[in-house]
């Protein structure tokens, strides 16, 4: 019985793999498929879930409109692993025949970018601190310059002279914190330590006590959740102090943990206009996560590009390269995130605000 | 087709790993959790030497294999002092240590940012840039490793290994130097895992340390346990099955909200069922 | 500074200790790398979370029900999955893979039921208490006390009661124990319930201190297992002290180098110690 089950699984797989790329049949509208390769399981599953929900929400809005083409959205789970991301992208491109792949961050987005680019398929990511994309790529994640700019303004306001950086051993943490470590001295702020914790660490006590000896003015953290929550909690338990700020993701943390964050400020990479946040929260009973609003806007920009990009003679849908170029020339995009400044090199610059938790609400401070 | 070819390449890599691990665990009864480390060293050797020092694929792979050999030989000496659970923990320790080095020795490995742009191998002017040619090359190595496994299995060396697996005291009393045999098979197996790692790095062109953690080692174990211990065919079948299963689950058309978790659930259930129905693995010849 | 370090080791080591003791207890009747023990830790945490958040039960009631559930879950898994597999001749690796399959099912189920977001159990236990020179959250103090009490009680049970003798007899040789009239199944049932109970307690305490997420089980179990194995089997001092040793080795790494080298330093320390004491660091050599 088991052998039959296994054989039938192999059979299903073989059948599906033998499907050729979908040729548009004699239908009223050509079909354009879009793939989304997200972290749906693993440590960052909540971010993946947020992105998935936001994409679905955006997609459903488009389905109600009268569009030139018919669209399909296909989700895959990259499990935050490079080989899974690679296999997923191959499947999306070669079996489903997608014209674009949406992805998140880590290393996986670069693997996806590569494979998509080789196949002349559009690759749109929400990756923090990624400053270049290949020919067919677009990035909508927050950039180091904006994060740094916002944070340093706030630090100067509070007259901070020495800082300890805390992060996780992940690509995004490194990209952002190393940028800070390189630039803070140029702005007259000394970096006393740059601690990187392994992803499974839940006890930061010794590390905190070690860095406290250096008497820093401020702690800046950007780690993979739950590092941020637990570190902050333990920091406040041990020192009772308030001089800790996040470089990006406090607002993403669950409500039950907000009492620990009262009075602290954070750069907000999450964005999200109140209208978008409300729609999202009402429908999914959950807070907006990092990259939710960015990918919501990314899908909107992508579909807008498909609808509006020039179609060459004799073709029925625009070439992918023209769609990418359209996206890159959008300029300032005001959407669910707020404001994203699209660059013609494919790198978007979402605006970054500083927010502070006051009486259970995240309030924008500083300008 | 391209999708199947890519799956095929991953199959070859995992088959090489399964064959190498089964030599140590199945034939010799040594419960080693260290293979993720050797896999990683092989991959990073190719990545670092090819992208940062302009070496070719084969010389980089050779360097990785040699490095693995030396490491395995040294570690093997320490490991031979331990039995059972302790062997497992110390070998797991090697995986943790190597992972830590790959993650933190940023000047060498670029840490979590990973190394990208790893090239493909060439032989006598022919460049294996198409995925089909790469698959063929990888498959050649699978066949080589398979043959090696069968050769050892049927040789007197293999008999000695199986002897020390079943009853080490007896085997020693018969005059066999079991520590030498254990060291030899462990070293050989580590070098094979390094070859698999080199192919992986070249195939995916962009590696980072997270592919080489302890959890990966547990996955290798699952492959050979499901496929069957001490069996070359079992190793290969185990690799194929555990690669195909998650892929097949994609096509079930589960609702997008919960698809990923349901796929995990079904995968877990299938693992349990397989163990319940055939505890010795599909083609296993031996129980640890 | 040293005092502060010692307190950290005490807190963390106590947390690991509970899991190490539970693992050792379970291993005495069912020895293998049982990944579902990690799931049971998660059940303790999520059970409490679910009962307070969604069923709106008072905290104390929720905790008791969760821990009871964990005890039952551990017993049921052992009775209906692992013991039957073992009787049919399954090897330790097969049991490991079966437990991996179950662990995956449980983790996915928790994810489906509660979502992937990191949560923490709220309430008075999370608040600080003052102990003179320093303060720590109540839950950490409770964890330390619980670890010592559990160690004391389990040690008493396993080594100073008739029941304990039966368990150790079973551990030595199940067949022989059966022949001499021991009811193996009953013993296994009680021991696995005990182990599940301790794991559930650990889950609840972790839920208050460092929170919960669907993936929490594996790493916590791994720490406990390492503590237990390095400490050595044969007496309960092994896991109990081994857990503190693990905490000490980790903190030494952070203290002298940096947090990134924590795991490497810890494992190098273990390996060095084990080379000199391959029977386990806190065990006497076998006679």
State the pLDDT confidence band at C285, using cuts at 50, 70 and 90. Answer: low
Distance from the C53 Cα atom to the nearest Cα atom in chain A, whole angstroms: 11
Q: Does C1 touch chain A (CB under 8 A)?
A: yes
3 state SS of A348: strand
| Both tokens assigned to B246 | 């998650």
Q: How far apart are CA B227 and CA C93, in angstroms?
A: 12
Q: Does B155 touch chain A (CB under 8 A)?
A: no
Does C101 contact B288 at a Cβ distance shorter than 8 Å?
no
- Residue with token string 């590696």: B207
Domains of chain C and any CATH numbers: 2-276 (1.10.3470)
Distance from the B149 Cα atom to the nearest Cα atom in chain A, whole angstroms: 25
Residue C279 Cα to chain centre, angstroms: 21
Residue B59 placed within a domain: yes
Closest of A229, A358, A279, A350 to residue A56, by C-alpha: A279
| Residue A25: predicted pLDDT | 44
**CA-based R_g, chain B, Å:** 19
| Both tokens assigned to C37 | 């023990």
Say how many Å lie between the first and final Cα of chain B, rounded: 39
Element (H, E) at A222: strand A218-222
Q: How far is CA C79 from CA A83, B279, C22, C31, C47, in A?
A: 38, 17, 17, 14, 22
List all residues of chain B from 96 to 155 with a beta carbon under 8 Å from chain C: 96-97, 99-101, 103-104
Residue B248 placed within a domain: no
Residue B285 placed within a domain: no
Q: Does B130 touch chain A (CB under 8 A)?
A: no
Domains of chain A and any CATH numbers: 27-141+274-350 (3.40.50.2300), 144-268 (3.40.50.2300)
| Both tokens assigned to A219 | 């702690």
Residue B71 placed within a domain: yes
How many contacts, defined by CB atoms under 8 Å, are there between B and C? 122
Q: How many CB atoms lie within 10 A of CB A15?
A: 10
In the predicted structure, residue A26 carries a pLDDT above the cut 70:
no
Mean pLDDT in residue range A166-191: 93
Residue B17 placed within a domain: yes
**What percent of chain A stands above pLDDT 90?**
66
- Residue with token string 């080489």: B212
Does B210 contact A87 at a Cβ distance shorter than 8 Å?
no
Which among B114, B248, B274 has the least Cβ separation from residue A171?
B114
Q: How far apart are CA C166 and CA C86, in angstroms?
A: 20
Residue B225 placed within a domain: no
Distance from the C257 Cα atom to the nearest Cα atom in chain A, whole angstroms: 10
pLDDT by residue, tens only, chain B of 288 residues:
889 999 999 999 999 999 999 999 988 888 899 999 999 999 999 999 999 998 999 999 999 999 999 999 999 888 888 877 888 888 999 999 999 999 999 899 999 989 988 989 988 888 888 889 999 999 999 999 999 999 999 988 888 888 888 887 777 888 777 888 888 999 999 999 999 999 999 999 889 999 999 889 989 999 999 998 889 999 999 999 999 988 888 888 888 888 889 998 999 999 999 888 887 778 877 654
Mean pLDDT in residue range C154-182: 81
Residue B224 exposed, middle or buried by CB count within 10 Å (0-12, 13-18, 19+): buried
Q: Is C234 left (phi over 0), alpha (psi -120 to 50) or beta?
A: left
Testing the interface with A: which of B13, B203, B206, B258 to mutate, by most A Cβ within 10 A? Answer: B206
Element (H, E) at A194: strand A190-197
Does B279 contact C91 at a Cβ distance shorter than 8 Å?
yes
Q: How many CB atoms lie within 10 A of CB B215?
A: 11
Which among B3, B206, B248 has the least Cβ separation from residue A111?
B206
- Whether the Cβ atoms of residue A173 and residue A228 lie closer than 8 Å to each other: no
**CA-based R_g, chain C, Å:** 19
Which among C97, C105, C268 has the least Cβ separation from residue B222?
C97
Q: How far apart are CA A342 and CA A143, in angstroms?
A: 12
Per-residue model confidence as pLDDT tens digits over B66-75: 999 999 999 9
Distance from the A200 Cα atom to the nearest Cα atom in chain C, whole angstroms: 7
Contacts for A53 with CB less than 8 Å, ≥ 6 apart: A280, A283, A284, A286, A292
Q: How far apart are CA B102 and CA B146, in angstroms?
A: 30
Distance from the C129 Cα atom to the nearest Cα atom in chain B, whole angstroms: 36
Residue B233 placed within a domain: no
Does A40 contact B248 at a Cβ distance shorter than 8 Å?
no
In the predicted structure, residue A9 carries a pLDDT above the cut 70:
no
| Residue B97: predicted pLDDT | 94
> How many domains, chain B?
1
Question: What domain range is B41 assigned to?
Answer: 2-211
In the predicted structure, residue A140 carries a pLDDT above the cut 90:
yes
Testing the interface with B: which of C39, C91, C273 to mutate, by most B Cβ within 10 A? Answer: C91
| Residue C127: predicted pLDDT | 74
In the predicted structure, residue A1 carries a pLDDT above the cut 80:
no
| Residue A151: predicted pLDDT | 94
Q: Does B156 touch chain A (CB under 8 A)?
A: no
Q: What are phi and psi of B257, to 5 degrees?
A: -60, -35
Q: How far apart are CA A30 and CA A68, in angstroms?
A: 8
Which among B114, B245, B273 has the least Cβ separation from residue A9?
B245
DSSP annotation string for C17-67? HHHHHHHHHHHHHS-S--THHHHHHHHHHHHHHHHHHTS---HHHHHHHHH
Does C89 contact B267 at a Cβ distance shorter than 8 Å?
no
Mean pLDDT in residue range C26-51: 94
Number of residues assigned to chain C? 287
In the predicted structure, residue A181 carries a pLDDT above the cut 90:
yes
Residues of A in contact with C136 (CB under 8 A): 237
Q: Mean pLDDT of all residues in chain C?
A: 89
Does C259 contact A225 at a Cβ distance shorter than 8 Å?
no
> Which chain C residue shows the shortest CA-CA distance from B262?
C108
Residue A241 exposed, middle or buried by CB count within 10 Å (0-12, 13-18, 19+): exposed
Mean pLDDT in residue range C129-152: 85
- Residue with token string 């009393």: B173
| Residue A14: predicted pLDDT | 64
Does B274 contact A2 at a Cβ distance shorter than 8 Å?
yes
Residue B10 placed within a domain: yes
Residues of B in contact with C83 (CB under 8 A): none
Residues of A in contact with B200 (CB under 8 A): 83
Element (H, E) at C169: helix C162-172
Q: Does B1 touch chain A (CB under 8 A)?
A: yes
Which among B86, B100, B268 has the least Cβ separation from residue C263?
B100
Which among B265, B269, B275 has the least Cβ separation from residue C97?
B275
In the predicted structure, residue A108 carries a pLDDT above the cut 60:
yes
| Residue A13: predicted pLDDT | 66
Does C116 contact A195 at a Cβ distance shorter than 8 Å?
no
Per-residue model confidence as pLDDT tens digits over C192-251: 999 999 999 999 999 999 899 999 999 999 999 999 988 887 788 999 999 999 999 999
| Residue C166: predicted pLDDT | 84
Does A196 contact C259 at a Cβ distance shorter than 8 Å?
yes
Strand partners, A265: A356
Q: Does C12 touch chain A (CB under 8 A)?
A: yes
Q: How far apart are CA C23 and CA C236, in angstroms?
A: 11
Per-residue model confidence as pLDDT tens digits over A333-350: 999 998 999 999 999 999
Distance from the C95 Cα atom to the nearest Cα atom in chain A, whole angstroms: 19
In the predicted structure, residue A279 carries a pLDDT above the cut 80:
yes
Does B211 contact A82 at a Cβ distance shorter than 8 Å?
yes
State the pLDDT confidence band at C287, using cuts at 50, 70 and 90. Answer: very low
Q: Does A353 touch chain B (CB under 8 A)?
A: no
Q: Does B208 touch chain A (CB under 8 A)?
A: yes
Which among A12, A56, A90 has the least Cβ separation from residue B251?
A12
State the pLDDT confidence band at A21, using cuts at 50, 70 and 90. Answer: very low
Distance from the C157 Cα atom to the nearest Cα atom in chain B, whole angstroms: 25
Contacts for B257 with CB less than 8 Å, ≥ 6 apart: A52
Q: How far apart are CA A192 and CA A279, in angstroms?
A: 43
Does C93 contact B272 at a Cβ distance shorter than 8 Å?
no
Does B241 contact A6 at a Cβ distance shorter than 8 Å?
yes
Distance from the C237 Cα atom to the nearest Cα atom in chain B, whole angstroms: 17
How are beta strands A137-139 and A122-125 bridged, if at all?
A: parallel
| Residue C46: predicted pLDDT | 96
Q: Mean pLDDT of all residues in chain A?
A: 89
Residues of C in contact with B218 (CB under 8 A): 96, 100
């Amino acid at each position: 019985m088991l052998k039959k089950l296994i054989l039938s699984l192999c059979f299903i797989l073989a059948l599906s793999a033998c499907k050729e790329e979908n040729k548009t049949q004699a239908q009223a509208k050509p079909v354009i498929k879009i793939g989304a390769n997200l972290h749906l399981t693993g440590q960052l599953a909540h971010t993946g879930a947020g992105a998935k929900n936001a994409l679905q929400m955006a997609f459903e809005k488009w389905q109600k409109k009268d569009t030139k083409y018919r669209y399909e959205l296909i989700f895959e789970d990259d499990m935050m692993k490079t080989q899974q991301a690679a296999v997923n992208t191959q499947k999306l491109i070669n079996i489903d025949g997608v014209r674009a792949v949406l992805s998140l961050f880590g290393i996986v987005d670069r693997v996806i970018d590569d494979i998509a680019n080789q196949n002349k398929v559009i690759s749109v990511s929400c990756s923090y601190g990624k400053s270049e994309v290949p020919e067919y790529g677009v990035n909508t994640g927050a950039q180091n310059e904006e994060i740094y700019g916002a944070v340093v303004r706030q630090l100067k306001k509070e007259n901070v002279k020495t800082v300890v950086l805390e992060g996780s051993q992940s690509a995004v943490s490194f990209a952002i914190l190393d940028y800070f470590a390189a630039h803070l001295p140029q702005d007259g702020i000394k970096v006393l330590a740059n601690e990187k914790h392994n992803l499974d660490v839940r006890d930061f006590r010794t590390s905190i006590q070690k860095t406290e000896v250096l008497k820093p003015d401020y702690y800046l953290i950007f780690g993979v959740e739950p590092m941020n929550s637990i570190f902050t909690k333990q920091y406040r338990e041990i020192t009772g102090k308030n001089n800790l700020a996040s470089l990006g993701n406090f607002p993403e943390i669950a409500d039950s943990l907000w009492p620990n964050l009262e009075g602290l400020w954070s750069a907000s990479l999450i964005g999200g206009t109140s209208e978008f946040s409300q729609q999202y929260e009402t429908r999914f009973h959950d807070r907006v996560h990092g990259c939710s609003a960015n990918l919501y806007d990314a899908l909107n920009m992508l579909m807008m590009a498909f609808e509006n990009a020039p179609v060459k003679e004799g073709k029925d849908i625009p070439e992918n390269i023209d769609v990418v170029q359209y996206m890159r020339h959008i300029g300032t995009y005001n959407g669910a995130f707020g404001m994203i400044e699209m660059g013609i090199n494919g790198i978007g610059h979402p605006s970054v605000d500083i927010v502070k938790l006051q009486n259970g609400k995240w309030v924008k401070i500083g300008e | 087709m391209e999708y199947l070819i890519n799956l095929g390449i991953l199959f070859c890599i995992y088959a090489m790993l399964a064959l190498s691990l089964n030599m140590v665990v199945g034939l010799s009864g040594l419960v080693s959790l260290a293979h993720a480390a050797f896999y990683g060293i092989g991959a990073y050797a190719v990545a670092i030497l090819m992208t940062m020092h302009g070496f070719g694929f084969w010389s980089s792979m050779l360097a990785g294999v040699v490095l693995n050999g030396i490491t395995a030989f040294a570690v093997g000496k320490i490991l031979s002092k331990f039995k059972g659970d302790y062997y497992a923990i110390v070998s797991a320790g090697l995986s943790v240590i190597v992972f830590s080095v790959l993650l933190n020795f940023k000047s060498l490995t670029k840490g979590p940012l990973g190394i990208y742009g790893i090239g493909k191998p060439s032989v006598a002017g022919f460049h294996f840039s198409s995925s089909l040619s790469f698959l063929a090359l990888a498959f050649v190595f699978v066949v080589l490793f398979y043959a090696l496994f069968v050769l050892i299995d049927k040789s007197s060396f293999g008999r000695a290994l199986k002897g020390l697996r079943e009853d080490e005291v007896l085997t020693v009393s018969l005059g066999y130097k079991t520590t030498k045999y254990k060291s030899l098979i462990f070293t050989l197996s580590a070098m094979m895992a390094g070859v698999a790692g080199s192919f992986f790095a070249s195939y995916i062109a962009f590696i980072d340390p997270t592919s080489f953690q302890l959890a990966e080692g547990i996955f290798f174990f699952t492959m050979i346990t499901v496929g069957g211990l001490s069996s070359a065919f079992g190793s290969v079948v185990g690799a194929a099955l555990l690669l195909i299963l998650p892929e097949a689950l994609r096509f079930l058309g589960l609702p997008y909200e919960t698809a990923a978790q349901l796929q995990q659930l079904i995968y877990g259930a299938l693992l349990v069922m397989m163990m319940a129905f055939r505890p010795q693995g599909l083609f296993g010849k031996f129980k640890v | 500074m040293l005092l502060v370090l010692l307190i950290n080791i005490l807190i963390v080591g106590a947390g690991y200790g509970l899991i190490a003791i539970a693992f050792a207890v379970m291993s005495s009747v069912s020895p293998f790398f049982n990944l579902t023990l990690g799931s049971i830790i998660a059940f303790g945490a999520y059970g409490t979370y679910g009962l307070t958040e969604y069923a709106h039960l008072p905290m104390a009631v929720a905790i008791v029900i969760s821990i009871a559930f964990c005890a039952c879950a551990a017993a049921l898994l052992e009775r209906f999955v692992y013991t039957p597999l073992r009787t049919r001749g399954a090897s330790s690796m097969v049991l490991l893979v079966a437990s991996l399959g179950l662990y995956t099912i449980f983790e996915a189920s928790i994810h489906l039921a509660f979502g992937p977001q990191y949560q923490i159990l709220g309430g008075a236990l999370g608040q600080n208490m003052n102990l003179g020179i320093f303060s720590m959250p109540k839950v950490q103090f409770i964890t330390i006390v619980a670890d010592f009490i559990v160690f004391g009680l389990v040690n008493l049970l396993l080594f100073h009661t008739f029941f304990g003798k039966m368990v150790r007899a079973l551990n030595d040789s199940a067949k022989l124990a059966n022949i001499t009239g021991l009811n193996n199944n009953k013993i296994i049932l009680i021991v696995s319930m005990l182990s599940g109970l301790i794991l559930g307690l650990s889950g609840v305490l972790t839920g208050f201190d460092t929170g919960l997420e669907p993936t929490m089980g594996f790493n916590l179990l791994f720490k406990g297992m390492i503590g237990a194995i390095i400490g050595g089997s044969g007496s309960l001092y092994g896991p109990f002290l081994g857990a503190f040793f693990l905490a000490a080795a980790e903190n030494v790494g952070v203290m002298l180098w940096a947090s990134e080298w924590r795991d490497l330093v810890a494992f190098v320390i273990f390996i060095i110690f084990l080379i000199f004491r391959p029977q386990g660091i806190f065990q006497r050599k076998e006679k």
